[in-house]
């Protein structure tokens, strides 16, 4: 069969299509972003995650020349926002700010409509920070060893407040109880504010809470801080010892934020976002603003963040199972 002009045109068209397909990833990288990017925050405005997201969005907007728009979608233990992003187009224009809750939820909720490890492409961690153990100032325990002794000696044990079932403020305390070999009764509240109010009022014995919420009350003398839950002392409160150094070696529980894109997002887009996040998180102003919230900037590669995320899912899965916590 002779090679006609029609065949030539078809061959040329196919060759162009192949070249275009091969060039697509590079086009993604060079052209991205060419329109506003939505950053979904699965919590209400004003909280720690929202504050972190707005700092990062502002810096990315300055660096990349396109608006990074915050979209608050709270509800269902941070699952509503995460599920919405998991179902979004995998083009890099809809991202979610994930938290420790998203590593807890797979084992806590009987049914989730998304998988945190399969339906997302990890971009980078953003922050890492401890919780702080706080009690009423009159509580007869001034460190972790004394708190453990008090819990063992008090008939019926101690009771601890949390910001809700399955939150890091709940499961950090459960991890503490299991590690220390003590029993403490859980009293869940609808948020940190009412929980802290009852700790300050003496209705609850203690709480594992974020530094952002608790430290203003500690500085005002309304709460007593016993220890932070990270492996290292917090730069925001260097005088407060860690749980591990003050009576419970090996204990660690951190609160973190990170960025996830829908699974299937082009690698070139993920890598571009990762590089821009590194630049943003290295910025001294950003570091300072995070430290004011009790967080440290915590950039890592997509691969490292994926490994970290899986380790967190595994770790908290064991804690949830031991605690017996479950949400239908």
Q: What is the pLDDT of residue 29?
A: 57
> Percent of the chain having pLDDT more than 70?
91
Q: Give the tens place of pLDDT for each residue, 145-175.
A: 999 999 999 888 899 999 888 888 999 999 9
CA dihedral 113, 253, 177, 143 (to 10 degrees): -150
Ranges of residues in the chain with a pLDDT under 70 are 1-30
Structural fold of domain 130-228: D-Maltodextrin-Binding Protein; domain 2 (3.40.190)
Residue 33: closest CA among 71, 58, 66: 66
Q: Are 149 and 141 in contact (CB under 8 A)?
A: yes
β-bridge mates for residue 327, sequence order: 109
Site of tokens 């102003």: 285
Q: What is the pLDDT of residue 22?
A: 46
136's CB contacts (< 8 A; 6+ apart) are 199, 200, 201, 202, 205, 223, 224
Q: What is the pLDDT of residue 192?
A: 84
Q: What is the pLDDT of residue 4?
A: 45
Predicted TM-score (pTM) of this structure: 0.82
Q: Give the tens place of pLDDT for each residue, 2-51.
A: 444 444 444 444 444 444 444 444 444 568 999 999 999 998 888 888 99
Instruction: State the architecture of 29-129+255-323 in CATH terms.
Output: 3-Layer(aba) Sandwich (3.40)
Within this chain, domains 29-129+255-323 and 130-228 share the same CATH topology: yes
DSSP assignments along 143-194, one per residue: SHHHHHHHHHHSTT-EEEEESSTTSHHHHHHHHHHHHHT--EEEEE-SSHHH
Report strand pairing: 184-188 vs 158-162: parallel
Helix, strand, or coil (residue 225): strand
Q: What is the pLDDT of residue 293?
A: 80
Helix, strand, or coil (residue 119): coil
Q: Domain residue spans in the chain?
A: 29-129+255-323, 130-228
Q: What is the pLDDT of residue 167?
A: 84
Q: Rounded to whole angstroms, how far apart are CA atoms 157 and 182?
A: 8
Q: Rounded to whole angstroms, how far apart are CA atoms 117 and 42?
A: 17
């Amino acid at each position: 069969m002779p090679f006609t002009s029609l065949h030539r045109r078809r061959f040329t068209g196919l060759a162009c299509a192949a070249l275009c397909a091969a060039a697509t990833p590079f086009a993604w990288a060079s052209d991205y972003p060419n329109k506003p990017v939505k950053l979904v925050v699965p919590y209400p405005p004003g909280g720690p995650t929202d504050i972190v997201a707005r700092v990062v969005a502002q810096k990315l907007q300055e660096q990349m020349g396109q608006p990074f728009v915050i979209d608050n979608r709270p509800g269902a233990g941070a699952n509503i926002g995460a599920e919405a992003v998991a179902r979004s187009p995998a083009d890099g224009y809809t991202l979610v700010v994930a938290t420790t809750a998203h590593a807890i939820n797979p084992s806590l909720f009987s049914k989730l409509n998304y998988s945190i490890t399969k339906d997302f492409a990890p971009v980078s961690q953003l922050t890492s920070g401890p919780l702080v153990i706080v009690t009423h100032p009159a509580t007869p325990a001034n460190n972790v060893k004394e708190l453990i002794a008090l819990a063992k000696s008090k008939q019926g044990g101690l009771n601890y407040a949390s910001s809700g079932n399955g939150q890091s403020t709940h499961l950090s305390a459960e991890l503490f109880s299991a590690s220390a070999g003590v029993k403490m009764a859980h009293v869940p509240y609808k948020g940190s504010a009412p929980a802290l109010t009852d700790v300050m009022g003496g209705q609850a014995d203690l709480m594992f809470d974020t530094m952002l919420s608790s430290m203003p009350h500690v500085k005002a003398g309304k709460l007593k801080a016993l220890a932070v839950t990270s492996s290292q002392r917090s730069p925001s409160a260097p005088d407060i010892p860690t749980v591990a150094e003050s009576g419970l070696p090996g204990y660690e529980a951190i609160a973190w934020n990170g960025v996830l894109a829908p699974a299937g997002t082009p690698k070139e887009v993920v890598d571009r976002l990762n590089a821009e996040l590194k630049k943003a998180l290295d910025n001294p102003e950003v570091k300072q603003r995070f430290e004011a919230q009790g967080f440290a900037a915590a950039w890592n590669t997509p691969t490292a963040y994926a490994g970290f995320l899986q380790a967190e899912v595994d770790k908290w899965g064991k804690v949830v199972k031991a605690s017996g916590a479950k949400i239908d």
